[in-house]
Amino acid sequence: MSDFRQQFLKFALEQEVLKFGEFITKAGRPSPYFFNAGLFNDGNGILQLSRFYADAIIASGVEFDMLFGPAYKGIILAAATSMALAEKGVNVPIAYNRKEAKDHGEGGMLVGAPVQGRVLIIDDVISAGTSVRESVKLIEAEGATPAGVVIALDRMEKGTGETSAVQEVEQQYGLPVVSIANLHDLLAMLADDETLQTYLVAVQAYRDKYGINCFYICS
């Protein structure tokens, strides 16, 4: 597991963004862990999170010209990530969308830099893929090209069918989806940390029941 992935998961635990126990997912599944990126809700938390996003982007090698933050969570994530990238010498423009068009001032649905070139979408997770679909539509309407999607955690589990929401986005749009960490990394952390090993069997059982078919070969 890459150092930044391990560091991210441990930081998420410290911030109580990642928790272990008994939870119910949006799909109604009993889950032994819970992740809510919205709980990165103070200055230091968002700062550190943005640096993990920047690490994941650089490590992925994805080529892009600017960042795009889908309303609402994606706005602050993209803004903070742009600053973290700038710290690493990668200074790129950023834009985001409104939920409703503005009919005064600059008007329209988009705010920030002109949407052009290869656009990297920054979001927290991909659940149903709705924000990605909306973002792709907005980006293409400006004559730009979606370059990929970056999220915090890929749970690597099936949706209503045999594929995950992440896989559906990759297949439907031909876009790479980069995650700071995924279920592989989470299991590796549990196996390596004696204080967390008590949760390993439950997470493995959840993986075996709901994990996507490629789990054992996907990176």
Q: Among all residues, which ones are annotated catalytic?
A: 102, 104
Nearest by Cα to 175 from 151, 194, 193: 151
Task: Return the closest-CA partner of residue 54 out of 107, 7, 16, 14.
Answer: 7
The number of C-alpha atoms within 13 Å of 105 and in the hemisphere containing its C-beta is 6
3-class DSSP state for residue 181? strand
DSSP readout, 79-130? HHHHHHHHHTT----EEEEEEEEE-STT-EEEEES---SEEEEE-S--SSSH
Residue in this structure with the two tokens 């909306």, named with its chain if needed: 134
Measured N-to-C along each axis, helices 73-87 and 43-60 cross at an angle, to the nearest 10 degrees, of: 70
Tokens of 141: 């309407």
Residue with tokens 């600059």: 106
Tokens, residue 78: 């993209």
